[in-house]
Amino acid sequence: MISKPKGTVDFIKTDSEYYKYISDVFDAYCEKYNYKYIRTPIFESSELFHRGVGDSSDIVRKETYDFKDRGDRNITLRPEGTAGVVRSFIENKMYADVIQPVKLYYNGTMYRYERPQNGRLREFTQIGVEVFGSNDPLIDAEVISLPINIYNSLGIENTIVKINSLGDNESRENYKKALKEYLKPHLNDLCSDCKERFEKNPLRILDCKVDKDGDILKNAPKISEYLSKESKEHLEKVLEYLDLLEINYEIDENLVRGLDYYTDTVFEIEVNSNELGSSKVIGAGGRYNNLVNSLGGPETSAVGFALGVDRIISVLKLKEINIPIRNEIDAYIMYVNETEKEKAIYLNQILRLNGFSSEINSLNKNLKAQFKEADRYKAKYLIILNSEDFKKSLITIKDNVTKEELKIKELDLVEYLDTHI
RNA sequence: GCGGAAUUGGUGAAGUGGUUAACACGGCAGAUUGUGGCUCUGUUAUGCGUGGGUUCGAUUCCCACAUUUCGCCCCA
């Protein structure tokens, strides 16, 4: 037997219904927020993902699906949604569009070559939005409030936004320098992972799970002390607008993002749950005013967020939140002999074309088994064909709830169902 | 990349170094039922993750691998 590749998942049965439902809710909200749908390729030139991501790019490279195609091109399966959207924004010169800012949403599978664990797959689905061309804090607030409102609408409450500002390039570099200077004498007291982070990605030491509660990190310099006046004002405005929108947030000065292109606002959305462990982060994003430029476009402000659909599904299931699932059909048509079968095939189409969901047996079942099958389909009405009735153009219809049964004219079938369903 | 746990039929699972690997649900066929939903009977093909090894003999012990799962790393 061939089984699915490691780290992939089949969405079937209720899972696929969850997936569809979440997508639908997300799409509907994005449309209300006046975002436009964008669909970019699942694979891109490798350099798109291996540029503009700063000094952690060697790590990033290891965790992407890279391959050469038959034309000897370096191809990478997208590990996230933003880069492709930014590429498309630049390539299609959307910075020159009449309508600004450009607000886009996407929905698709992403690929990372990682060890699978809770809430982490090699192929996973993210949905997200990106806004280009406005540095107004109201956009930051919009991009944060959108997912919150989607979660609420899905029934996920008790979410909290963790928010921080990384400032502009200069403030961040200054801060990085100060942090390293502060940590240097304490280097031996840090965990082994942090010693490595010290050179590679010092900001992430703030996020360390081992040293989190130690005095070293508690007394470390704060990013807020290094923010420029503009960045400070930007953050204050974002918070003010979040208050206005009644979004719960919490400033988390230790919140840093892995990549260097983020500027000013960064945020994560957590769901309040102990069972979820490390996958309680169900959405994240931030402002990245440098990325468009570093990928070859004009200086363009940008902000976005993404959320993992797989994680949302786990949360919905964990919290036992039910979603609307169609689990019944309007009619099940029953037949025994070939004459009746032909009539059944014909009526089945008539019903479907008139907007009813209907089904017939395709497994040569006897009448008894057809009754069983109709129940499994939760058919509201049973249409029982009998060759004798055909002579009088009659068919038998049975209400499968009340069990009332009557004969009606074949031609009246659609009208009958119309008035009864 | 590192570490822990798991892997029995369509499903949930019990179990053992040795002849037919429980039980339940589901599926199918039949009986009964005014055309099913209840009940009863039968049935469900050489199934114990894969490959090696130990052994007279392994699903049961050992090793490797795969997958799943939990954590670390990383998290765009």
Average pLDDT over residues A235-258: 93
> Across A11-20, A131-140, A169-178, A373-382, which has the greatest mean pLDDT?
A131-140
Residue A212's pLDDT is 67
Distance from C-alpha of A302 to C-alpha of A131, rounded to nearest angstrom: 5
Model confidence over A319-363: pLDDT tens digits?
Answer: 878 888 777 889 999 988 888 889 999 999 999 999 999 998 887
Residue A203's pLDDT is 86
- Can you give the distance from the CA of residue A12 to the C1' of nucleotide B10 in angstroms? 16
Distance from C-alpha of A197 to C-alpha of A203, rounded to nearest angstrom: 8
Among A173-177, A189-193, A249-253, A328-332, the minimum mean pLDDT is found in A189-193
- Can you give the distance from the CA of residue A417 to the C1' of nucleotide B23 in angstroms? 46
CATH class of this structure's domain A329-420: alpha beta
DSSP for residue A4: P
- Can you give the distance from the CA of residue A137 to the C1' of nucleotide B11 in angstroms? 53
The answer on pLDDT for A103 being more than 80 is yes
**A55: pLDDT confidence band, cut at 50, 70 and 90?**
very low
Residue A1's pLDDT is 67
- Can you give the distance from the CA of residue A372 to the C1' of nucleotide B10 in angstroms? 18
- Token representation of residue A56: 């952690």
The answer on pLDDT for A110 being more than 70 is yes
A277 touches strand B (CB under 7 A): yes
A257 touches strand B (CB under 7 A): yes
> Across A8-12, A15-19, A74-78, A385-389, which has the greatest mean pLDDT?
A74-78
Strand B bases contacted by the protein (CB, 7 Å): 1-3, 27-30, 32-33, 35-37, 66-76
**Secondary structure element (H or E) that encloses residue A130, with its range:** strand A123-132
The answer on pLDDT for A59 being more than 70 is no
- Token representation of residue A28: 């509907």
Radius of gyration of chain A (CA): 28
- Token representation of residue A145: 């409030």
The b-or-e profile of A61-73 (16+ CB within 10 A means b, else e) is: eeebbbeeeeeee
- Can you give the distance from the CA of residue A332 to the C1' of nucleotide B75 in angstroms? 50
Average pLDDT over residues A95-113: 96
**Secondary structure element (H or E) that encloses residue A245, with its range:** none
Distance from C-alpha of A378 to C-alpha of A104, rounded to nearest angstrom: 40
**A76: pLDDT confidence band, cut at 50, 70 and 90?**
very high
Packing angle between helix A137-154 and helix A13-32, nearest 10 degrees? 140
Please state the domain extents for chain A: 13-168+228-318, 329-420
A344 touches strand B (CB under 7 A): no
Residue A54's pLDDT is 46
Task: Round the average pLDDT of chain A to a whole number and report it.
Answer: 89
* Whether residue A324 has a cis bond before it, omega within 30° of 0: no
- Can you give the distance from the CA of residue A201 to the C1' of nucleotide B4 in angstroms? 29
- Can you give the distance from the CA of residue A4 to the C1' of nucleotide B9 in angstroms? 21
Give the residue, A171 or A62, on which the prediction is more confident: A171
Residues facing residue A396 across a β-bridge: A384, A407
Cβ(A331)–Cβ(A380) under 8 Å? Answer: yes
CATH 3.90.1200.10 fits A13-168+228-318, yes or no: no
- Can you give the distance from the CA of residue A360 to the C1' of nucleotide B52 in angstroms? 52
Q: Which of residues 96-155 of A touch strand B (CB under 7 A)?
A: 112, 114-118, 120
Q: Which of residues 21-50 of A touch strand B (CB under 7 A)?
A: 49
- Respond yes or no on whether ipTM tops 0.85: no
Distance from C-alpha of A256 to C-alpha of A190, rounded to nearest angstrom: 18
Q: pLDDT over 90 for what percent of chain A?
A: 55
A76 touches strand B (CB under 7 A): no
Give the residue, A264 or A1, on which the prediction is more confident: A264
Q: Which nucleotide is closest to A5, CA to C1'?
A: B67
Distance from C-alpha of A87 to C-alpha of A412, rounded to nearest angstrom: 58
